[in-house]
């Protein structure tokens, strides 16, 4: 049973890290496919917030330097990712390539998550 979804950005959570990512992204030197899905130029996207808030389980996001240790260990430091935390551990659902394939779309992200959950044989809470 899935208890929580966790997304990990390919950026650091400090002010310096956020600024470096923002500038790097504008100059084409930094890219995070999960950021493209959840954030606009300056803040979280409204369609992402509505989607996340409408889920039956939490979908929490972290940065590579503040992610839970269990998540980091489960994915070997790979970022960006989306994982499912279950009763039995942490399962990688989407890696960088799958997130990039979402092309910034919240709908595509949720479709990819749903397909990955089914492929992993996981169950959503009722």
Q: Which of 9-13, 25-29, 62-66, 101-105 has the lowest mean pLDDT?
A: 25-29
CA–CA separation, 86 and 89 (whole Å): 5
- What tens digit of pLDDT does each residue of 81-107 get? 999 999 999 999 999 999 999 999 999
Work out the angle at residue 124's Cα, subtended by the Cα atoms of residues 122 and 126, and round it to the nearest 5 degrees. 140
Q: Which of 119, 2, 121 is nearest to 60 (CA)?
A: 2
The full set of domain ranges for the chain reads 2-119
pLDDT of res. 84: 98
pLDDT of res. 124: 94
pTM comes to 0.87
Distances (CA, A) of 1 to 12, 24, 38, 122: 30, 38, 25, 6
- What tens digit of pLDDT does each residue of 32-68 get? 899 899 988 778 899 999 999 999 999 999 999 999 9
């Amino acid at each position: 049973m899935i208890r929580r979804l966790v997304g990990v950005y390919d950026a650091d959570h400090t002010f310096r890290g956020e600024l470096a990512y923002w500038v790097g992204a504008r100059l084409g030197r930094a890219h995070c496919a999960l950021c493209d899905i959840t954030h606009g130029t300056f803040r979280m996207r409204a369609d992402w917030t509505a989607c996340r808030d409408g889920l039956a389980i939490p979908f929490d996001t972290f940065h590579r330097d503040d992610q839970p240790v269990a998540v980091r260990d489960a994915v070997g430091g790979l970022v960006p990712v989306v994982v499912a935390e279950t009763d039995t551990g942490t399962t990688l659902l989407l890696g960088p390539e799958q997130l990039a394939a979402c092309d910034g779309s919240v709908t595509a992200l949720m479709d990819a998550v749903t397909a990955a959950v089914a492929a992993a044989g996981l169950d959503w809470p009722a």
